Structure 1
Amino acid sequence: MLTEQKARITRSAGEWVAASGEAPMVRELAAVVGVSSSSSIAYHLRRMREQGVEVETRGRRSGRCPYCGH
Protein backbone atom coordinates (compact mmCIF):
# COMPACT_ATOMS: atom_id res chain seq x y z
CA MET A 1 0.00 0.00 0.00
CA LEU A 2 1.29 3.44 -0.93
CA THR A 3 1.34 6.37 1.44
CA GLU A 4 -0.45 9.56 0.37
CA GLN A 5 2.90 11.14 -0.59
CA LYS A 6 3.91 8.17 -2.75
CA ALA A 7 0.48 8.05 -4.38
CA ARG A 8 0.80 11.76 -5.18
CA ILE A 9 4.24 11.18 -6.74
CA THR A 10 2.87 8.35 -8.89
CA ARG A 11 -0.18 10.36 -9.94
CA SER A 12 1.90 13.47 -10.73
CA ALA A 13 4.40 11.50 -12.81
CA GLY A 14 1.58 9.95 -14.82
CA GLU A 15 -0.04 13.33 -15.42
CA TRP A 16 3.34 14.75 -16.52
CA VAL A 17 3.83 11.96 -19.06
CA ALA A 18 0.27 12.44 -20.37
CA ALA A 19 0.77 16.19 -20.77
CA SER A 20 4.31 16.29 -22.18
CA GLY A 21 4.88 12.87 -23.71
CA GLU A 22 8.02 12.23 -21.67
CA ALA A 23 8.88 11.34 -18.09
CA PRO A 24 9.68 14.14 -15.65
CA MET A 25 13.11 14.73 -14.17
CA VAL A 26 13.31 14.22 -10.41
CA ARG A 27 13.55 18.00 -9.85
CA GLU A 28 10.50 18.63 -12.02
CA LEU A 29 8.58 15.94 -10.14
CA ALA A 30 9.57 17.52 -6.83
CA ALA A 31 8.25 20.90 -8.00
CA VAL A 32 4.94 19.43 -9.16
CA VAL A 33 4.44 17.46 -5.95
CA GLY A 34 5.33 20.53 -3.89
CA VAL A 35 8.47 19.20 -2.23
CA SER A 36 11.47 21.52 -2.02
CA SER A 37 14.05 18.73 -1.98
CA SER A 38 14.65 16.51 -5.00
CA SER A 39 16.50 14.09 -2.70
CA SER A 40 13.22 13.51 -0.87
CA ILE A 41 11.57 12.48 -4.14
CA ALA A 42 14.56 10.28 -4.99
CA TYR A 43 14.20 8.59 -1.60
CA HIS A 44 10.50 7.91 -2.19
CA LEU A 45 11.21 6.60 -5.70
CA ARG A 46 13.85 4.24 -4.32
CA ARG A 47 11.49 2.94 -1.63
CA MET A 48 8.71 2.50 -4.20
CA ARG A 49 11.06 0.51 -6.44
CA GLU A 50 11.78 -1.77 -3.48
CA GLN A 51 8.02 -2.30 -3.15
CA GLY A 52 7.74 -3.14 -6.86
CA VAL A 53 6.26 0.19 -7.97
CA GLU A 54 8.10 1.75 -10.89
CA VAL A 55 7.79 5.45 -11.62
CA GLU A 56 9.63 6.51 -14.75
CA THR A 57 11.85 9.57 -14.54
CA ARG A 58 14.42 10.96 -16.93
CA GLY A 59 17.76 12.54 -16.34
CA ARG A 60 21.39 11.71 -16.00
CA ARG A 61 22.16 8.02 -16.36
CA SER A 62 23.79 6.52 -13.32
CA GLY A 63 25.19 3.41 -15.00
CA ARG A 64 23.09 1.29 -12.69
CA CYS A 65 20.59 -1.33 -13.70
CA PRO A 66 17.20 0.44 -13.94
CA TYR A 67 15.46 -2.58 -12.44
CA CYS A 68 17.55 -3.62 -9.45
CA GLY A 69 19.75 -0.55 -8.88
CA HIS A 70 23.07 -2.41 -9.06
Structure 2
Amino acid sequence: MNRRPEHLTAREEQILRCIRRWIEEHGEGPSVRQLADDIGLSSTASVAYHLANLEERGALVRDGRGWRTCRLVQ
Protein backbone atom coordinates (compact mmCIF):
# COMPACT_ATOMS: atom_id res chain seq x y z
CA MET A 1 0.00 0.00 0.00
CA ASN A 2 1.67 3.20 -1.16
CA ARG A 3 -1.01 5.78 -0.57
CA ARG A 4 -1.34 7.77 2.60
CA PRO A 5 -4.29 6.84 4.82
CA GLU A 6 -7.06 9.40 4.90
CA HIS A 7 -7.63 9.36 8.66
CA LEU A 8 -4.80 9.32 11.17
CA THR A 9 -5.07 9.71 14.92
CA ALA A 10 -3.72 12.83 16.59
CA ARG A 11 -0.77 10.80 17.95
CA GLU A 12 0.00 9.41 14.48
CA GLU A 13 -0.04 12.91 13.00
CA GLN A 14 2.25 14.07 15.81
CA ILE A 15 4.70 11.24 15.09
CA LEU A 16 4.70 11.97 11.36
CA ARG A 17 5.35 15.69 11.99
CA CYS A 18 8.22 14.79 14.29
CA ILE A 19 9.73 12.42 11.73
CA ARG A 20 9.39 15.01 8.94
CA ARG A 21 11.06 17.71 11.05
CA TRP A 22 13.82 15.36 12.21
CA ILE A 23 14.65 14.27 8.64
CA GLU A 24 14.76 17.92 7.51
CA GLU A 25 17.13 18.82 10.35
CA HIS A 26 19.34 15.72 10.48
CA GLY A 27 19.05 14.02 7.09
CA GLU A 28 17.85 10.73 8.58
CA GLY A 29 14.95 9.48 10.65
CA PRO A 30 14.97 9.66 14.44
CA SER A 31 15.54 6.66 16.67
CA VAL A 32 12.58 5.26 18.57
CA ARG A 33 14.01 6.76 21.80
CA GLN A 34 14.41 10.18 20.15
CA LEU A 35 10.81 10.03 18.94
CA ALA A 36 9.59 9.04 22.40
CA ASP A 37 11.46 11.92 24.00
CA ASP A 38 10.24 14.41 21.39
CA ILE A 39 6.55 13.52 21.65
CA GLY A 40 6.53 12.99 25.40
CA LEU A 41 6.13 9.23 25.70
CA SER A 42 8.19 7.30 28.22
CA SER A 43 7.72 3.94 26.51
CA THR A 44 9.67 3.15 23.35
CA ALA A 45 7.34 0.16 22.90
CA SER A 46 4.42 2.58 22.45
CA VAL A 47 6.33 4.48 19.79
CA ALA A 48 7.31 1.26 18.01
CA TYR A 49 3.65 0.20 18.07
CA HIS A 50 2.56 3.47 16.42
CA LEU A 51 5.38 3.26 13.87
CA ALA A 52 4.41 -0.30 12.92
CA ASN A 53 0.79 0.82 12.49
CA LEU A 54 1.84 3.75 10.32
CA GLU A 55 4.00 1.47 8.21
CA GLU A 56 1.19 -1.06 7.80
CA ARG A 57 -1.26 1.69 6.87
CA GLY A 58 1.15 3.03 4.23
CA ALA A 59 2.02 6.37 5.83
CA LEU A 60 5.73 5.55 6.03
CA VAL A 61 8.18 2.96 4.73
CA ARG A 62 11.55 1.69 5.89
CA ASP A 63 14.51 1.04 3.62
CA GLY A 64 16.12 -1.25 6.18
CA ARG A 65 15.29 -2.92 9.47
CA GLY A 66 15.69 0.09 11.75
CA TRP A 67 13.35 3.04 12.06
CA ARG A 68 16.13 5.52 11.24
CA THR A 69 15.77 4.40 7.62
CA CYS A 70 12.10 5.35 7.49
CA ARG A 71 10.77 7.87 5.03
CA LEU A 72 7.35 9.40 4.70
CA VAL A 73 5.02 8.45 1.87
CA GLN A 74 3.92 11.57 -0.01
Give the root-mean-square deviation of aligned CA atoms: 2.0
Alpha-carbon distance in 2 for matches of 1:50, 1:22: 20
One-letter identity of the residue aligned with 1:52:
G
Normalization by structure 2: what TM-score?
Answer: 0.72
One-letter identity of the residue aligned with 2:55:
R
Alpha-carbon distance in 1 for matches of 2:58, 2:23: 20
Conservation of the 8 A alpha-carbon contact between 1:12 and 1:29: yes
Could you list the runs of 5+ residues in structure 2 that have no partner in the other structure?
1-6
| 1:12 Cα offset (Å) | 0.4
Q: Where does 1:1-70 land on structure 2 (aligned, <5 Å)? A: 1-54=7-60, 57-58=67-68
Could you list the runs of 5+ residues in structure 1 that have no partner in the other structure?
60-65
Q: Percent identity?
A: 40
Higher relative contact order (CA 8 A, sep 6+): 2
One-letter identity of the residue aligned with 1:28:
Q
Structure with bigger strand share is 2
| 1:4 Cα offset (Å) | 0.2
